[in-house]
Amino acid sequence: MFSFQSSLELLVLAGFAAVVLVLAFRSGRRNESALPPGPVGHWLLGNEIPKPYAWRKFTEYTKQYGPVFSLRLGRQVLIVIGSYQAAVDVMEKQGALLADRPRSIAAGEILSGGKRTLLVQQGERLKRLRKALHGHLQPKVAVNYEPLQAKAALIMIIDILHDPQHFQDHAKKYAASVIMTLTYGKTTPTSYSDPEVQMVNECTRRLGTVVKPGAWAVDSWPILRYVPGYLSVLNRHHREELALFRGQLDNVRNQMTAGTAQSSFAKELIERQVEYGLSDDEAAYLCGSLFGAGSDTTAAAIAVVIMAAASFPDLQANAQKQLDMVVGADRTPTFNDREELPYIEAFVLETFRWRPISSGGFAHRATEDIIYNGYLIPKGATVIGNHWSIARDPDVFPDPEAFRPERWLTPEGTIREDLRFYNFGFGRRVCPGQHLANRSLYINTANLLWAFKIMPDPTRPIDTLAFTDTANSHPLPFQVKFESRNPNVFKTVKAALEQM
Ligand code: HEM
């Protein structure tokens, strides 16, 4: 039963809370007139993140409000960069002031226990994690993974010959095999139905939904973390992934003790753990989250290549003409052919631009005020480079909806050096796996287009906009037909595999 005193206390408390809220709200709005323009939101709650496919709606906002626009999510300012030049000027040139991530309570602190590189804020831990990643993924090391990638790409051709319908699963198997081998030294090809892979994928899927801006209100209203039970699912998911990642690293430790460990990222991390200054759980997360960052993304990008090939037969044929000239029918393409296959490179670059995997971009945080074209990007703001609209900037990519590999080529047919697309993100948070990923895309595109004429299935037309609404957006299931380009494809691929 309420006493008069407790009612009074409640009243005082409510009054206090209201004052705090108004002060907080006003301090948040102080600089609002200097912010880049943007849609008007609710006076207290601000704007909502449009759903689904926020990045597509943001592309409309870019046309309406300009290359840099702002939203308010509760007290949080969100700045969206929508044009190519603004991405260069803000995300790249001011990269030092945007190396931080916004505080991510749901995905970063709770689900990932503060240890997933993608979400770790600027500071000493990030430096240690990125140094360890760089040691294993920088260009001069990435070249060592080429034999592994070449073999897995040939296995994918065999998989498609045996079971063409499940080509998207084969792409996932390719990506999972490469990551599991380089991370944990796994020697057997990774089946996508491996319970371990299924679990890692489940972790990635969970991350993809939690990390979307606006997915969890606690990120705008941190006080919600004290609501009993509100975060229990995320806490449980964190315990599950930590146990999984610890178990995977422990396997490598056990193999090292038994003298059976293959060389791998995990093995080297364990050997150099003190030098890298990593705790056991940091090392476990570093390895575990590599799969999440690198597997799904690579598999999705390969599926986009297949989608584009089936959708644009003439351009597929252009690529095949070059393959036939440089490689011929009697052997499979290799990494040694890369320089002579610029059209393959251009085809891949155009898929990155046409259907960027990280469509909405990842959130950065401004650690100082940044002035852009007279507008203020205030310290503390979340800043996102919207890959989807940057890729569609007509000033740089004329006729942006058209799939046109030629836009990446000089008149002499070499790759243009004056053009790039920020598929792998920006500044100091740029994807450390990009050199590995680019090699995966080259070797798979070369092999796929060498082996098959890829055609749409007339009974099931491809919807080239049917993608998942997740941070890394991948094509929903679609169907194509694979026709071997010569009767010896199987024999030639088998022979190449036997030589490895
Ligand atoms: C086609 C494949 C891939 C795409 C499209 C992609 C894209 C991205 C993007 C957009 C970011 C965020 C950049 C930013 O904040 O501006 C990122 C971060 C990251 N990527 Fe990738 N990535 C791919 C493959 C890989 C691979 C193969 C690995 C590792 C083996 C990897 C590891 C990471 C890690 C660890 C981060 C976090 C970096 C940080 O926050 O400091 N990625 N990636």
Q: What is the CATH number of the domain that holds 402?
A: 1.10.630.10
pLDDT number for residue 212: 77
Q: Does 111 reside within a domain?
A: yes
Across the range 35-58, mean pLDDT stands at: 93
Nearest atom (ligand 1) to Cα of 300: 1
Does residue 254 fall inside a structural domain? yes
Res. 359: pLDDT tops 50: yes
Residue nearest to atom 13 of ligand 1 (CA): 425
Q: Among 205-219, 305-319, 429-443, 473-487, which is the least confidently predicted range?
A: 205-219
When divided into structural domains, the chain yields a total of: 1
Asked whether residue 9 carries a pLDDT value surpassing 70, the answer given is no
Atom 43 (ligand 1): residue with closest C-alpha?
A: 431
Residue 109 falls inside a structural domain = yes
* Per-residue model confidence as pLDDT tens digits over 168-217: 999 999 999 999 999 999 876 667 678 888 888 899 889 988 987 778 99
What pLDDT is attached to residue 29? Answer: 52
- The ipTM value here is 0.99
Per the domain annotation, does 478 fall within a domain?
Answer: yes
Binding site for heme: what residues are annotated?
431
Q: Could you list the residue range(s) of the whole structural domain that residue 189 is in?
A: 99-356+391-499
CB-defined site of ligand 1, < 6 Å: 117-118, 130, 133, 137, 290, 293-294, 297-298, 301, 357-358, 362, 423-426, 429-433, 436-437
- pTM score: 0.92
Q: How far is the CA of 385 from the centre of ligand 1 (A)?
A: 14
Distances (CA, A) of 179 to 97, 106, 109, 198, 257: 32, 26, 25, 14, 23
Nearest CA to ligand 1 atom 26: 294
pLDDT at 253 over 90: yes
**Is 445 among the domain residues?**
yes
Q: What is the dihedral of CA 437, 438, 439, 443, to 10 degrees?
A: 110
Residue 24 counted as domain residue: no
Q: Is residue 184 part of a domain?
A: yes
Tokens of 119: 């979400």
Among the listed residues 458, 407, 490, 480, the one whose alpha carbon sits nearest the alpha carbon of residue 161 = 490
* SS3 assignment, position 345: helix
- Asked if residues 129 and 152 have their Cβ atoms less than 8 Å apart, the reply is no
Confidence at 7, pLDDT banded by 50, 70, 90: low
In a domain, 34, yes or no: no
Query: How confident is the model at residue 205, as a pLDDT?
Result: 86
Residue 130 CA: nearest ligand 1 atom is 41
Number of alpha carbons in the 13 Å side-chain half-sphere of residue 96:
1
Mean pLDDT, rounded, for 148-167:
97
User: Distance (Å, rounded) from C-alpha 411 to C-alpha 210?
Assistant: 45
Which pLDDT belongs to residue 406? 98
Pocket-testing residue among 431, 444, 472, ligand 1, by greatest number of atoms within 8 A of Cβ: 431
**Mutate-to-test residue for ligand 1 from 424, 439, 440, highest number of ligand atoms within 8 A of CB:** 424
Give the model's pLDDT for residue 456: 97
Average pLDDT over residues 274-295: 92
Residues 6+ apart with CB under 8 A from 22: none
Return the pLDDT at 394.
97
Query: Radius of gyration of the chain from Cα atoms?
Result: 24
Q: Which burial class, exposed, middle or buried, applies to 316 when counting CB atoms under 10 A from its CB (0-12, 13-18, 19+)?
A: buried
